[in-house]
Amino acid sequence: MRLGFYNFGTHEAFDRHGVPLGKFTSQEKAIKTMEAARLPLSFFRAEETPAVPLLLELNDWITKQDERRQPKWKFRFVADVAVQVQPKIARAQAFLLECYALGPRTSR
């Protein structure tokens, strides 16, 4: 069964349904992402982490400088796990930190 396709001109990868998966520096990285896109949602586990007050304070300081700016922070916990955190305005009274974690696919 086909995983998806990789556009060598634009370096973009798409799953088998044509959903864009992003841009990649190599076809091998794109193939790994296509394989991960085929995993059932039950494979992934969503976890909420509490907001870090220092990031909230830093965000407040940045948005006071320029209200249009939405800062993004990236952390690397270990060599193969990275996290990206970006604040989002959910409502006028609510503040939301959107977080994505990226790691290697483990064999079963």
The pLDDT tens digits for 65-77 are 777 777 777 777 7
Task: Measure the N-to-C terminal CA separation of the chain; round to a whole number of Å.
Answer: 20
User: Which residue, chain included where needed, has tokens 């959910």?
Assistant: 90
Question: Predicted confidence band at 89 (pLDDT cuts at 50, 70, 90)?
Answer: low
3-state helix, strand, coil in the chain (%, to 5): 25, 30, 45
In angstroms, the CA 13 to CA 31 distance is: 8
Domain ranges (residues) in the chain: 4-40, 53-102
30 CB-near residues (< 8 Å, 6+ apart): 6, 11, 13, 21, 24
More confidently predicted of 78 and 8: 8
Is the model's pTM score more than 0.75? no
Q: Is the pLDDT assigned to residue 105 strictly greater than 70?
A: no
User: Which residue, chain included where needed, has tokens 């992402």?
Assistant: 33
24 and 30 Cβ atoms separated by less than 8 Å: yes
In angstroms, the CA 93 to CA 103 distance is: 33
